[in-house]
């Protein structure tokens, strides 16, 4: 017999309790419990776009009709990708698009799997008027998110309302039916601002707050209101932006909670980090009690900062999309991305380690990047991270490990 540890609260303090468990002391389960109790593991990535062309290769392709200037069918995006990379299978299983990422996730065993889902999950047919691009995935294809065991989808972005309010409501309902949390959009302002709460094996609760910014193309008309559905909008250049987040966090954070602020901000291209982004990220850590700033919107990875031992990702890059074969901005290597696997101290939220797995989008699936591409990502992150005091080292096997100086 062994004793299994669990967290309990007594007199306002978090204490370890013990329960008998009929497992031999030498069992691997014992070691796993001890290991999981002293760390919180996160999987973070950038934009996951499973609509349009990708939707067309999944098991239940939806209506391919588009209202774009140069394309009127989502099937054309599949054809463009095939001209660039070869034949892409059709009616694929739900795990296909994740490719090599699934084995990495099983190896890492993260407590929280968080993605920015940049598509509506709906059969709605009314495209948002005046918007040039509309992403949509057939709800029956939601199993592709279940296959990766995604815990939470951020919806605070510039595509969740592409198919109107009916499309947003169906997106939320579809995710809920699949037992996937969503955050950052809702049927009213209160629901859009509410965080997702995820319990971990260490006994720590992780709260995810999500915000979409006009700088990333989120229309102000999409802002949720008291009696109107929409996105939890945050203007990062506003003087009260940090206080806005701080009020949200203070209202719900309890002792022992860890907080992620997931923000869709900034443009699609370029390595420059706007001054207001860095200022806001620092203030969220200093004033709002945020432990991780999870930034996305850029089509390629941007610099990483560790501020007061708290992780700031200014832009994670596109993890999955249907842009394959589309020319332009090749110098940024937008087909390359990263899996961000971080370990946090459960008591303080401080970053213990960050492992980056280089990936490459090819044939509409996530693949391990080649050694040459991993080296390219290493050199880019070292070049752009220098001003933030961060660098990465290429490890045997192709993973990158973050190094940082205290700031």
Convert the pLDDT of each residue in 194-220 to its tens digit.
Answer: 999 999 988 999 999 999 999 999 999
What is the tally of structural domains in the chain?
Answer: 1
Q: How far are the Cα atoms of 51, 60, 63, 115 from residue 56, in angstroms, in the given order?
A: 8, 8, 9, 21
CATH assignment at residue 220: 3.60.21.10
d(C-alpha 357, C-alpha 340), whole Å = 7
**pLDDT for res 25:** 39
What pLDDT shows up at residue 36? 58
pLDDT of res. 113: 98
In a domain? residue 29: no
- Rounded mean pLDDT of 36-45? 88
Whether 10 maps to a domain, the answer reads: no
The answer to whether residue 346 sits within a structural domain is yes
CB 222 within 8 A of CB 235: no
Whether 30 maps to a domain, the answer reads: no
Task: Give dist(CA 270, CA 252) in Å, integer.
Answer: 35
Q: What is the CA radius of gyration of the chain?
A: 21
Range of the domain at 222: 38-404
Whole-number pLDDT of residue 37: 64
Q: CA–CA separation, 385 vs 128, rounded Å?
A: 38
Confidence of residue 15 (pLDDT cuts 50, 70, 90): very low
Longest dimension (CA), the chain: 68
Asked if residue 168 is part of any domain, the answer here is yes
DSSP-derived letter for residue 273 is -
Q: What is the pLDDT of residue 150?
A: 98
**Any domain includes 9:** no
pLDDT confidence of 389, banded at 50, 70, 90?
very high
When pLDDT is averaged across residues 209-232 and rounded to a whole number, the result is 98
pLDDT digits (tens, 9 = 90+) for 236-263: 999 999 999 999 999 999 999 999 999 9
Any domain includes 1 = no
pTM metric for this prediction: 0.91
Residue 167 inside a domain? The answer is yes
């Amino acid at each position: 017999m062994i004793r299994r540890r669990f967290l309990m609260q007594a007199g306002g303090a978090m204490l370890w309790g013990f329960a008998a468990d009929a497992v031999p002391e030498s069992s691997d389960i014992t070691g796993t419990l001890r290991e999981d109790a002293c760390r919180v593991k996160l999987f973070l990535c950038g934009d996951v776009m499973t609509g349009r062309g990708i939707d067309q290769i999944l098991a239940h392709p939806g209506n391919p009709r588009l209202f774009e200037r140069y394309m009127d069918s989502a099937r054309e995006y599949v054809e463009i990708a095939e001209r660039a990379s070869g034949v892409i299978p059709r009616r694929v299983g739900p795990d296909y698009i994740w490719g090599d990422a699934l084995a990495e996730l099983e190896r890492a065993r993260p407590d929280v799997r968080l993605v920015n889902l940049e598509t509506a999950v709906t059969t709605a047919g009314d495209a948002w008027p005046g918007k040039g691009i509309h992403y949509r995935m057939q709800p029956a294809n939601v199993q592709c998110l279940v296959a990766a065991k995604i815990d939470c989808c951020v919806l605070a972005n510039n595509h969740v309302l592409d198919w109107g309010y009916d499309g947003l409501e169906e997106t939320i309902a579809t995710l809920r039916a699949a037992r996937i949390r969503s955050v950052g959009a809702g049927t009213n302002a209160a629901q859009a601002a509410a965080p997702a709460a995820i319990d971990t094996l260490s006994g720590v609760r992780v709260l995810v707050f999500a915000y979409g910014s006009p700088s990333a193309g989120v229309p102000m008309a999409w802002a949720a209101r008291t009696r109107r559905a929409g996105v939890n909008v945050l203007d990062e250049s506003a003087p009260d932006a940090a206080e806005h987040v701080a009020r949200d966090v203070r209202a719900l954070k309890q002792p022992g909670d860890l907080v992620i602020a997931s923000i869709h901000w900034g443009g699609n291209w370029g390595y420059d980090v706007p001054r207001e982004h860095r200022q806001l990220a620092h203030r969220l850590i200093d004033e709002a009690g945020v432990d991780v700033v999870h930034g996305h919107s850029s089509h390629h990875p941007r610099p990483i900062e560790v501020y007061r031992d708290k992780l700031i990702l200014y832009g994670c890059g596109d993890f999955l999309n249907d842009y394959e074969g589309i020319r332009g901005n090749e110098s940024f290597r937008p087909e390359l991305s990263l899996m961000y696997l971080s370990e946090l101290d459960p008591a303080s939220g401080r970053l213990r380690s960050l492992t980056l797995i280089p990936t490459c989008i090819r044939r509409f699936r996530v693949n391990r990047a080649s050694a040459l591409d991993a080296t390219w990502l290493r050199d880019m992150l070292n070049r752009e991270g220098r001003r933030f005091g961060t660098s990465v080292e290429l490890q045997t096997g192709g993973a990158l490990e973050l190094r940082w100086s205290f700031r």
